[in-house]
A and B are shown apart, each in its own frame.
Chain A
Amino acid sequence: MTQKVIIAGFGGQGVILAGKLLAYTGMVEGKNVSHIPSYGVEMRGGTANCAVIISDQEIASPLVVHPTSLIVLNKPSLLKFEDSVTPSGRILVNESLIDREVKRKDVVVLYVPANKIAEEAGNGRSSNMVMIGAWLAVTGLFSQKTIKESLPRVVSKRNLRYNEINERAIDMGYEYAKNAG
C-alpha cells in the first residue's frame, strides 16, 4: 500500500495542517510517512500545497509527481494539479469554492461542499477537516478514532480550542462521503 496525497488550496485554508494530520496518523498506525509543504512565498490568500506519502514500504522519494489522491480546496489548485493525478486515482473537490467540474474521465471524483459542512459543524474554517473526513471515508485507510486522537498532536496550542469543531467536521465529512458513495 502506498498512498501519495497532494492537498492544495489558498494559504490559510489549513492544507499544510491537514497534510500533517495525515502524516501523524500514518505514523501512529505504524506506516512510513513523509510530508513536504510548499514553502516560503505562500501567504494567506496565496496558494499553498503539501505532499504526503503514507506507505507500508520504505519511502524512497518524498516528492509526489503523480498523486493517488488529490484534495483541492480552491479552483487554482484543481487547475494546477488535475492532470498530475495517477490514472484511477481520486480527486476530492471542495464544491463550495470550486465551480468547475473535473475534466478527467479516468479518475474517481467526489464533490464535497466542505465550507457549507464546516459552517454546520461550527466554523467555516474547518473545511480542511471536512475534506480529511471525506478522504478517510473513501480510502478507509485509518479509523476516525486514530485521526481524532492525532488531531491535538498536530494543531498549534492556540487552536486547540477548536478541537471539538474540528472533530465534528471530520465526522460530518466522513458521513457525507459515505452517503455520497
Chain B
Amino acid sequence: MGEKVLMRGNEALCESAIIAGCRFYFGYPITPQNEVPAYMARRLPEVNGCFLQAESELSAINMVWGASVAGKRVMTSSSSPGISLMQEGISYLAGAELPAVIVNIMRGGPGLGSIGPSQSDYFQATRGGGHGDYRTIVLAPQSVQEIADIMIDAFDLADIYRNPVVVLGDGVIGQMTEPLVLPKPSTRTLPRNDWVLDGASGRDARVVMSLRLSPPGALETHNLHLKEKFCEMERNEVRYEEYELSDAQLVIVAFGTAARVARTCMQKARGLGMKVGLLRPVTLWPFCADALGALAEQRRVKAFLTVEMNLGQMLEDVRLAVLGRKDIFFYGRTGGSVPDEDELFGKITEVFS
C-alpha cells in the first residue's frame, strides 16, 4: 500500500485522473469545484498534458469531444448549472459513442441556486441528461479515497463502452480533506481504439458522427445498438455497498455524503437496539434495483428509508425496485443544506415506532 496523503476531494480526483492517463482537461470555473481547474492548470503541463480554460461550458464540452475523437483520455468538470450547459455536448458524445469523463460536484439548484452541497442532479445524471435515448454510467463517491479510486474506473468504463461516464459528487466531497492512498493505474485490458480519427494515411477513412439521416431506419438501428451497450452496463456495472443488512428491519438507502450521515445515525440507532442497515448505491445508473428487490422480499425487512440531499429523486428508483412490497419513507434536505444527524435520527425513531 502506498503512502497516505491528505488531500481535498477536488484535488484528489485530479491527481487520480492523471494517474489514469488523462492528459486533457477543458473547463470553466464554478464553485464548489474550482480547485479542479486550478489543480489541472498547474499539474497538466508538468506531465505534457493540456489544460485549457474555455470561454464557456458549451465550448469546454465540445473541446472534450475533439480530444476524445482523437483517441485521448479527456475530462471536464463543473457544478450543476455548468453541467446543464454541457448537456447538448454530452448527448452528442453518447450519440457518437465517444468516451469522456464528466465530473459534477453538485450545488443547490434550480437555476444558479446556491453554492452549498447538493444531490439534486440525480434525475439529470441518471436519465441521460441531454436529449435522446441514452444513458451514462453514474458513479457516486462518498469519500476522498473513493473519488480517487472511482476516477481510475471512470476512464476505463468510458473506454470500454465508448460512452461518457459521469462522476457525481457534491460540494462536501469536493471540499472535504481526508487522508487517502493514491490509486495505482488500471491494469485492465481495454478494447482497441479502431475508431479514432488520427489521420487516414495508409488506411481507410473513418467517420464519427451523431447525425444519422440515411438509410431510413439508420438511427433506430443505432439506438438499438446503443441499447445493447446500456443493457451490458446494467448486467456488469451495478455497484453498491451494504452495511449491517444481515438482520436489518429498516433499510436506509443513501449515496454520497447523505450515506455518511446516514451511517452515523445507523450506528447510533443500533446502539439503542434498532436494527437499521444501509444500502449505498455506488453506481446511481445502473441502479442496484435487484439488491433492493431482494431485500423487499425478505420478511424481516419492514420498511425502507431513502435519504438524499434533494426533495426525493433516487426515491423514485427505490420505489420502482421495491414495487409496493414495503413502506418507503423519505428524509431529505435541499437547497444546499446537508442532512442533519439529529433530524435523521428522529426520522429513524419515528419510522421504528
Contact = CB atoms under 8 A, between A and B. Distances in A.
Interface of A: 20, 23-24, 27, 32-37, 39-41, 59-63, 65-66, 154
B171 interface: yes
B31 A35 contact: no
B176 A62 contact: yes
Contacts, number: 63
Which of B31, B178, B266 has the most C-beta atoms of chain A within 10 angstroms of its own C-beta? Answer: B178
Contacts of A39: 31-32, 115, 171, 175
A39 B261 CA distance: 19
Contacts of A37: 175, 177
B332 to A, nearest CB: 15
A35 B261 contact: no
Interface residues of B, number: 23
Contact of A60 (B32, B264, B338): B264
B341 interface: yes
Closest 10 CB pairs of A and B: A60-B263, A61-B264, A35-B177, A60-B264, A40-B115, A61-B261, A27-B179, A61-B260, A40-B31, A36-B176
Given A24-B6, A37-B175, A40-B115, A63 B32 contact: no
Contact of B175 (A36, A41, A61, A154): A36
Interface of B: 4, 6, 31-32, 115, 171-172, 175-179, 257, 260-261, 263-264, 266-267, 338, 340-342
Nearest to A52: B177
A60 B172 contact: no
Contact of A63 (B178, B267, B341): B341
A87 to B, nearest CB: 14
30 contacts: A20-B177, A27-B179, A32-B179, A33-B178, A34-B176, A35-B6, A35-B176, A36-B177, A37-B175, A39-B32, A39-B171, A39-B175, A40-B31, A40-B32, A59-B178, A59-B260, A60-B264, A60-B266, A61-B261, A61-B263, A61-B264, A61-B341, A62-B172, A62-B176, A62-B260, A63-B172, A63-B257, A63-B261, A65-B340, A65-B342
